[in-house]
Chains A and B, each alone.
Chain A
């Protein structure tokens, strides 16, 4: 329990990277962590586009104001809308939850391997679809940059448990 909490608390959003390749087996482990995320009705509405071509990463940077630094790898997490429809009207929101959990799995796996990551939503989706030939029924929803950090950023403050946790009824805060 201590180890997983250490990894969860240690992960930071990294925005500057060393010029150092990520080993292939580590990259596969990160991707595999993604597919083992929880998924409502086991629909697995995700598609992951792995970008390892530096020239393509530069092109994606041009369409992504929120992408800082020059990462070695990008993973574009997409929603397969046809798959998500199986969950009915909740499909799109459930798919976002599933993809978010897959992203967290990937970033925690990366951190456990000493690899920095950053989740990025600030990219132009239409432009990215055009650039990467993403079909109509698939929407990119999140991007993860990966690389060895130039530095690990300081952690920002978190709202304390006593403020966030309500016990049994809303408004009755946790006391420790």
Chain B
């Protein structure tokens, strides 16, 4: 397979994000660690929504909460943590239902 279109490949984009984030997190504020992880989760959700089209409501709910959490990182750490808790509950509901 040619590498010509590798930049458009979502898996490659996630790979680049994870590797650069791993290096960045060493020097950055600790709270950026969870931020990078939810950003990575958001990229994974794009792929999952493509794969499980019928389940997009659940994934969209998680995506909305990620967006909320992202906006809280630097303004309200407590609410950010609560939103992360809420995200895990949404995930657990999918696990329970399956």
Contacts and interface: CB of A to CB of B under 8 A. Distances in A.
Given A65-B39, A156-B74, A124 B20 contact: yes
A59 B20 CA distance: 13
13 contacts: A59-B7, A62-B16, A62-B20, A63-B20, A64-B20, A65-B21, A65-B36, A66-B24, A122-B24, A123-B24, A124-B20, A127-B20, A156-B74
**Chain A, interface SS category:** loop
Given A63-B16, A65-B24, 5 more contacts: A62-B12, A65-B17, A65-B36, A124-B24, A127-B20
Interface of B: 7, 12-13, 16-17, 20-21, 23-24, 28, 32, 36, 39, 74-75
Interface of A: 55, 58-59, 62-66, 122-124, 127, 156-157
A50 to B, nearest CB: 21
Contacts of A157: 75
B30 to A, nearest CB: 13
Given A65-B36, A122-B32, A156-B74, A58 B7 contact: yes
Contact of B13 (A62, A66, A123, A124): A62
Nearest to B12: A62
A157 B74 CA distance: 10
Q: Which 8 A/B pairs are nearest by Cβ-Cβ distance?
A: A62-B16, A65-B21, A124-B20, A156-B75, A65-B20, A122-B24, A63-B20, A65-B24
